[in-house]
Amino acid sequence: MLLSSLIVSPRFILEFCISTINGIFSSVFSKVCSWSRGACRATKSLVSDANSQSEQRTDENVTTPTSVNYHFTRKCNYKCGFCFHTAKTSFVLPLEEAKRGLKLLKEAGMEKINFSGGEPFLHEKGDFLGKMVQYCKTDLQLPSVSIVSNGSMIKETWFQKYGDFLDILAISCDSFDEETNQTIGRSQGRKSHIENLYKICSWCQQYKVAFKINSVINSFNVHEDLTEQINQLNPVRWKVFQCLLIDGENAGETALREAEKFVISDLQFQEFLDRHSAVSCLVPESNEKMRNSYLILDEYMRFLDCREGRKDPSRSILDVGVKDAISFSGFDEKMFLKRGGKYVWSKADMKLEW
Ligand code: SF4
């Protein structure tokens, strides 16, 4: 046996060598594969980390239009001396184009839309506005739809038709003295601005719309005390603005208003706030807070950049999309949050007693 084994030994040795070399090769090969798979995985993970970091960086740089103010018309029936969105054009987009723009904003993250002017109830007697309000609530399902108006053109029939789709209606009122309102220009003819305000407040209650008041504090009302009337009307919010100069709107050579005589100092504004410190719904807005903390869309759906003390328009979101246009808006998201721009803005969440 042994002899025969020894006789076949060269063949055996050869086979043994081949099998050993095979083993070494396959072990080395599998190690190399495993290293390269690992390296591959590691590279992939590094690349994907880098990608996600760069996506995050990109996302951080993109402003979300969470809350947008659409001044779809500049026309107004009032002549407030400090008006900072004057009738420089009479242009209003066709309804379908306005809806297209609103949809683009919703797709970009809009949660709240505020319709403003000019006087938004003037165009097509409020029907154009009503259709946009209805579209934003029912088709776009926006959590909050609101309007700022001087209140003079609103009829009860509007509430009957569109009230369900509206969360907040803000009415501008700077004084409870009719003469002061006349002096400021917050009036039309002999119609009582204050009577209107009370009427709209009761309609808001009746048709379940949250009622808000906006006041601009200026040299003609800065000494007044509005506490009693504000408490009586009991708005969900009382926004108190410091009169602001905007070049080309209410200041400068090309402006339609000269608001210099309405301007008050920061100290005067603070004194007004101190006098009303007991009013719990008061939300103050100084010039500093106001300037860049609003996303303003004009009648062409262009964002307006107020950083230089005037309104510089971007290109229209209808032409270049929201992302491109918003990068020229000058919007200060931090100031928006600091001024309490994000609040309970859907009437469903306000838990109001109607
Ligand atoms: S109500 Fe006064 S402030 Fe408002 S748009 Fe008309 S004129 Fe301007």
pLDDT, tens digit, for every residue of 79-118? 999 998 888 899 999 999 999 999 999 999 999 999 999 9
Helix (H, G, I), strand (E, B), or coil: what is residue 289?
A: helix
CB 155 within 8 A of CB 149: no
Per-residue pLDDT band at 265 (split at 50, 70, 90): very high
Give the residue, out of 75, 82, 119, with the most ligand 1 atoms within 8 A of its beta carbon, to mutate for a pocket test. 119
- Which range among 100-104, 122-126, 261-265, 311-315 shows the weakest confidence by mean pLDDT? 311-315
Q: How far is the CA of 341 from the centre of ligand 1 (A)?
A: 22
Q: Residue 80: CB within 6 Å of ligand 1?
A: yes
List the beta bridge partners of residue 113: 68, 145
Whole-number Å distance, alpha carbon 119 to ligand 1 midpoint, is 7
Residue 210 lies in a domain: yes
**Domain count of the fold of the chain:** 1
The band of 310, judged by pLDDT with boundaries at 50, 70 and 90, is: confident
Asked if the structure places residue 15 within a domain, the reply is: no
* Amino acid 10: pLDDT: 55
Residue 19 lies in a domain: no
Atom 3 of ligand 1: nearest residue by CA position: 83
- For residue 71, is it within any domain? yes
Mean pLDDT of the chain: 84
Average pLDDT estimate for 15-24: 51
Distance CA 223, CA 244 (A): 18
Residue 34 is assigned to a structural domain of this protein? no
| Alpha carbons 121 and 258: distance in angstroms, whole number | 25
Say how many Å lie between the CA of residue 77 and the centre of ligand 1: 8
Judged by DSSP in three states, 254 sits in: coil
Which one has a higher pLDDT value, 49 or 136? 136
Measure 79 CA to ligand 1 centroid, in angstroms: 6
- Confirm whether 3 is domain-assigned: no
Task: Report which of residues 345 and 210 the model is more confident about.
Answer: 210
pTM of the model: 0.80
Q: Residue 21 — very low, low, confident or very high, per pLDDT cuts 50/70/90?
A: low
Residue 158 belongs to a domain: yes
**pLDDT of 127 above 80:** yes
* 190's tokens: 């002999």
The answer to whether the beta carbons of residues 277 and 284 sit under 8 Å apart is no
Which residues participate in catalysis according to the annotation? Answer: 76, 80, 83
List CB contacts of 146: < 8 A, sequence separation 6 or more.
112, 113, 114, 115, 166, 167, 168, 169, 170, 212, 345
* Ligand 1 neighbourhood includes 181 CB (under 6 angstroms): no
Contact between residue 227 and residue 276 where contact means Cβ atoms under 8 Å apart: yes
For residue 41, the model assigns a pLDDT of 41
State the residue range of the domain holding 196: 64-347
- DSSP secondary structure letter of residue 191: -
- Higher pLDDT: 268 or 330? It is 268
Probe target for ligand 1 pocket from 69, 77, 147, 172, with the most ligand atoms within 8 Å of CB: 172
Whether pLDDT at 32 is above 60: no
How close is the Cα of 250 to the center of ligand 1, in Å?
Answer: 11
Instruction: Tell me the per-residue pLDDT of 170-199, one tens digit each, with 9 for 90 and over.
Output: 999 999 999 999 999 998 887 899 999 999
* Residue 264 CB–ligand 1 contact under 6 Å: no
Protein residue with its CA nearest to atom 5 in ligand 1:
118
Confidence of residue 250 (pLDDT cuts 50, 70, 90): confident
Is 184 close to ligand 1, i.e. is its CB under 6 Å away? Answer: no
The dihedral over CA atoms of 320, 323, 324, 325, expressed in degrees to the nearest 10, equals 80
pLDDT bracket for residue 347 (50, 70, 90): confident
Give the domain CATH number at 246: 3.20.20.70
Kindly state if the Cβ of 210 falls inside 6 Å of ligand 1.
no
Q: Is the pLDDT of residue 354 over 60?
A: yes
Domain assignment of residue 32, yes or no? no
The DSSP result for 75-133, as a single string, is --S---TT-SS--S------HHHHHHHHHHHHHTT--EEEEESS-TTTGGGGHHHHHHH
Whether 200 is in the pocket of ligand 1, judged by its Cβ within 6 Å, is no
Q: Is the pLDDT of residue 209 over 80?
A: yes
pLDDT of residue 288: 77
- Reference 256, options 264, 265, 247; nearest CA is 247
Closest by alpha carbon to 266, among 289, 287, 290? 287
